[in-house]
Structure 1
């Protein structure tokens, strides 16, 4: 029996988590593994890409070794921008978010033997919903998010959309519920 304090999930690379995501696409006509498409999208976003076209352009600039590390075999063509877009649109966003959040949570640390988590809510600048019934005439309202950040690592391991600033505190319990906040050190 291993004496390691890490969990199997914490030793797994993010690409391993992507490999467990259920593929919503029809088997027939699939040219690229779902994990590869997700890895290319994640790397693009981490590199600062703001559009799916930019994600594809970033993937096009990766070296053969980097592409191989992300699951794209030698000589295999890159997924197109439209393939990346259609694949991401077909996913269950809540399921993907929960899988990535669980993986991120395995990378949280402790400070003085205690886990320190910062929770904050912010309204997304420059973003609007498609809700035109808001009555303000501008096509919708800016989404409000509440996030939980591990102070030791700076990793955001949970994030949830809430109605507005006044609904942050009631949403906190649901935001943190999937995570075992007391697993290290037994502190409450």
Structure 2
């Protein structure tokens, strides 16, 4: 099996188009256990629908609340309907922001991580597993008083699942902190 390209963009540009059910299938079920922090009165969009749309927007490269809301607003009607959003009534930026800020991040991380683990395929027995290890500087983590954060992760190239990650001190090569990831 050839190695995956290091750029997600190059991987996606040559990959065939996928439907929403192929890429986000089961996420709404995984999010069913996440408690909705909003009052029941006036809720127009179910929590699992909004968070699924947010996950799709973030995977597409949208990071800020306003950018995520733009993705939701600009998504084709077929995509919105597949996500469970009425084409003529999309979630606003303010609603998305308030909902995400009110959610417990640990519960949301657990739910999405469980969904990702369930999507990981296992390799056939006898097939060697290729694991890529790489260190990265986290974007926008540097402040006026602190240096940028650095992390190192090990990723299964067959499934694309991050197996482990750890914070590392300063910019270093991948060999020194490798035992911490293993």
TM-score, normalised relative to structure 2: 0.66
- 1:98 matched to 2:105? The reply is no
Measure how far apart 1:84 and its partner are: 0.7
Report 1:1-188 matches (<5 A): 13-73=26-86, 75=88, 77-106=89-118, 107-110=120-123, 112-113=126-127, 117-118=131-132, 120-128=134-142, 138-156=144-162, 162=167, 164=169, 172=181
Structure 1 residues 164 and 91, CA gap change in structure 2 (3 angstroms):
farther
Q: Which moved more, 1:25-34 or 1:77-86?
A: 25-34
Q: What does the per-residue CA deviation read over 1:56-100, in whole Å, with 9 as the maximum and x for residues that have no partner?
A: 11111122221111111354x111101111111111212211222
For structure 2, the residue ranges without an aligned partner over 5 or more in a row are 1-24, 171-175
What is the aligned partner in structure 2 of residue 9 from structure 1? none
Q: For residue 35 of structure 1, give the secondary structure of its aligned residue in structure 2.
A: helix
- 8 Å CA contact 1:110, 1:116 repeated in 2: no
Secondary structure at 1:82 match in 2: helix
- Aligned pairs, how many? 152
**Counterparts of 2:71 and 2:113, CA distance in 1:** 24
Q: Structure 1 residues 68 and 20 mapped into 2: Cα distance closer, same or farther (>3 Å)? A: farther
Q: 1:125 to 1:60 in 2, by over 3 A?
A: closer
Q: Which residue of 2 aligns with 1:178?
A: none
Is contact 2:30-2:114 (8 Å) kept?
no
Q: Which moved more, 1:77-86 or 1:142-151?
A: 142-151
CA contact (8 A) 1:109 1:150 kept: no
Q: How much does 1:158 deviate?
A: 5.7
1:13-46 CA-to-partner distances (Å, cap 9, x unmatched) read: 2232233322122223322111111011111112
State TM-score, norm by structure 1: 0.64
Partner of 1:79, secondary structure, is coil
Q: Is the 8 A contact 1:101 1:157 kept in 2?
A: no
